[in-house]
Amino acid sequence: MTLSIMKGEGKELIRKNLGQIFRKYNIIEYKSPEDYLSINDFYKVMSYACLYQAETEHVLEVSPDELTITMVCSHYPL
């Protein structure tokens, strides 16, 4: 399952540890314990991030510094 999460436009401070690692735009790939994370999943999520940054009206409208990728699985990737 791939999710895209965006932070609000305000200047809210997120005090939880997990929330502090996220930026304004976040793409998360989650694999259940029955599934595995493969190199193809890595390329898919990277392509989503590149498209998200590139498919805007203006150059660098979505700054790469404001975009994170997180991959979650219960065991080491294959």
Per residue in 8-66, pLDDT (tens digit) is 666 666 666 766 778 888 898 999 999 989 999 999 999 999 998 888 899 989 888 98
Helix (H, G, I), strand (E, B) or coil at 5: strand
Task: Please enumerate, as own/partner, the contacts of 57-63 that have beta carbons within 8 Å and a separation of 24 or more.
Answer: 62/25
pLDDT category of residue 6 using cuts at 50, 70 and 90:
low
Strand (E) or helix (H) holding 20: helix 17-21
Per the structure, the complete domain to which residue 7 belongs is given by 2-72
Could you list the beta-strand ranges (E) of the chain.
2-6, 25-30, 67-72
pTM above 0.75, yes or no: no
- Domain-embedded: residue 32: yes
Count the domains in the chain.
Answer: 1
- Domain-embedded: residue 10: yes
- Domain-embedded: residue 56: yes
pLDDT category of residue 5 using cuts at 50, 70 and 90:
low
